[in-house]
Chains A and B, each alone.
Chain A
Amino acid sequence: MAGAIPRCSVRHLQRLFGSCSISAPVRSVRTSSCNRAEEIVIPNRIPRSSTDILEALASTVGRDSSGPHYKYSDDPYLTPASNVAKRSFSLSKESGRKAARWIRDKHSDLFTHRPEDPFIEAFYPKISFTDESDVSEDTLRELMQKCMVSDAIQVYQICKTKGVELSDSVRQELLEFLGYYNCEDALDEDWVEERWYRQGIMSRDRIRNTWKDHGLAEELFKSLSHQGSPAYCALIRGMTRYYQVDRAWQMYQETLEKGIPLDTETYNSLIRVASLMREGSDLRWKLVKEILTAMSEAGVRPNLGTLNSTLESLSQIASWRQTKNLSLQVMAEFNRLGIQASLASYYFLLIIHCRERGPISHILIDIMNHIADKEFSIQDPKDTFFFVTAMDVCRNHLHSKELAKRVDDLLHTGNNYMLIGDSYKESIYYRHYFALSCSTDTVDQFMELYNELVPHIYTPEPGVMEELLKALKVHEALEYLPQLWSDMIVFDHTSREKLLMSVLSAMTCHQPSEDNTKLTEQLATIAWDLWTRVQRMEEDRRNKITWSGPMIGDLLTTLVRCGEYSKGVEVMQKISADPHIVLGSATVDSLQTLLDAAIGNDEADTGVMVVVYAVDAGHQEAADMAKKLGSSLTLNAEHRAKLTSVLGIDIIADLKEKEISES
């Protein structure tokens, strides 16, 4: 992956060197030797931006899946593997930056030494405003440029108290700005990690009316001397963005009455929330159509946003029978207008067509046929939802590994990877990809994928790990179990009961033979490690693992089968001394395995212990086990007394009697 220069980098380099393509000088040199008439044409200088060289260089560096991400410290000890570690490492790095910035802004008087020329603004404390500050329209514009919402509000208030006259144009700009942010501070653009980890949480509860009624934005709207089209547009956009739907609709009616024209984006925002204004699918669609017709009548040109908003409101009535057909009609309509669909449009199509309980739709295949090998840039906020949803459809709807591979290829085309969205979507994307591969591929194919992505690109969640372990058990590919176990330790999965259960039950499938002695040893080590880990957990731990009957049975079976008989006995001693550590009791099969091993090792003590435990556990087979023990080994008086006391009859005597009577 890292060796070959990616295609995009060649393109970059070509752009960088312009017409002086790499092959051109070679050819001219050759021809000049035989024909001197041909001249070397020196190309004109092509102006470059300051980042072009860096971009060309950066595009030669691919993602190295064998090492940690660049953002982590270059120190093996500090390489995170589990999801929690990844998250906390990157966020703590950023929080260090935040702390530094806080100090700088809090004590701005200490940072006055400015030796450098030119002046670097990013290194200096931000200007704070007080009531005495000298402010003007330009200050406001600058603050809007820098996206500082609360400062802009403060400066506006200062202007008001000091009586600084603000023109209508700056008021309009401020109205748009505050309407967009709903008078709340936006996340600073420097906090990349926070945004990367936050979006998943943010996107969940968004459909709520959070618009600040009668806030500063509305005050600005009223303060305008002439409330024209831009003012109405800005306010309606703001209200719909924060789901103040009723009042936005009122404003829209006002514009209709007063004959104020609206622009495309404002119509789009109304379409987007249209389904919140009506109940019932057909009424909702009717409203959307109404707005679209109004747009057409007003001679407003639709754009990509119109397409996506229409599809979005259709996706909210996706259970309606006509929706699928309508969505295709909408696509056709906008295609006719020459508007290119973005990934968000395809995302909405997927939602509409691939319903959880609906009939299977193969629309993803058609979409992939259409967009394969294309490069995308972000055009719509929902563009980032496409890849994760497409992978979801591949896994849950179509169960197609080939299609998943195509989606993955598209994701790794050009700069498309940036459209994965955020950490949350990325991990869901890989979760689906993994689970699909796990259920459709052979184990070897799957482990190839696993080795490529884990742990630096993706850390499997416990659920995925469980599925993986089950797959290993089904395919009897236990040779991968040691690797998975060490990964589980690193990922901090060893305190999850379900996973331990899966590991133990997978290990019981192992049949030791001459060929796999190494694996046998490893499995025994794993079993013993698992036991000691669980035993080491503190009693007051919140989710301490309690041994269950099948688990302890599997553990005993594995230990005995893999040649760690003495350790098996140790476990047996522990559980017969403290039966309360096991919920239920060890399975009969495991006890019989242990008994056989005890007989094989000529250890009557252990045998008796096993039989006593079996009796206490209420296993029906206890008597048979006792008979087997009695007939295979010679027991001393103490053993016999013990057996007699638990079983109530002297088995050995019984046996002898039987022998006598038989003979």
Chain B
Amino acid sequence: MSRSPGRKQENHKISRELFVLTYGALVAQLCKDYEKDEDVNACLDKMGYSIGIRLIDDFLARSAVKKCRSYSETADVIAQVAFKMYLGVTPSVSCSNTTGNEFSLILDKNPLVDFVEELPAERASLCYCNLLCGVIRGALEMVHLAAEVSFLQDRLKGDAVTEIGITFLRKPEDRKHRRN
């Protein structure tokens, strides 16, 4: 969470605790505002989307990754470069179907839920980190890759691991007549 160094090393690091607390406060306030879990999840996804459409340029400007030539390359870049850069964790990637457009990111450590042990009983279907899904979806859309991103498993709900599923929707050949 530090700014880019540039010429002088300006390391304005903000504390991770503050970020985690801010996210927690955000989710708590949304829970107060909306009764249904689906509404909270949708709101988190929308917020994540508007973050993702801006974050993608920051990511591309700082990481200088080349254009990905396949879905699996894209999933690898998301897991190994993007997650590392922004959250400091590296999920593992696995491809979950034969057509090669569904991938899973398995997070063993998730900094956003450091201080959350489990969801309250009345919020059983809340996707606490749904913001992340929106971020990934928004970022992919800006590089012309439509995708559906959702939580397949969540430790907070009692599953063994936290798993984010990315399903790419459109074939890359369709983009041939767009820019290159």
Is chain B a partner of chain A in the same complex?
Answer: no
> Which A positions have Cβ atoms within 8 angstroms of B?
none
